[in-house]
Structure 1
Amino acid sequence: FSENFTILLFHYDGRTSEWEEFEWSRRAIHVSARKQTK
């Protein structure tokens, strides 16, 4: 991925660690909001 943008992921199930296998995921912003409606 380019260095000129930010990846923002919203996790409604609280499962943020499952994304750790992807190299780009380490640079992403993970927002965990359990029990929230979509």
Structure 2
Amino acid sequence: MSQIHTLSVLCEDVSGIASRITGMFTRRAFNIISISS
């Protein structure tokens, strides 16, 4: 059974933070459908 979850992250405006956050999920083999920054 497939599950869909929504996660909201609020972070400081730091260079490269979006890459670090997406890297955390891709290393754990989570699929990211969309990102808004």
Structures share fold, TM-score greater than 0.5: no
Q: TM-score normalised to the size of structure 2?
A: 0.36
> Would you tell me which structure has more strand in proportion to its own residues?
1
Task: Give the structure with the higher percent helix.
Answer: 2
- Report which structure shows greater RCO (CA 8 Å, sep ≥6): 1
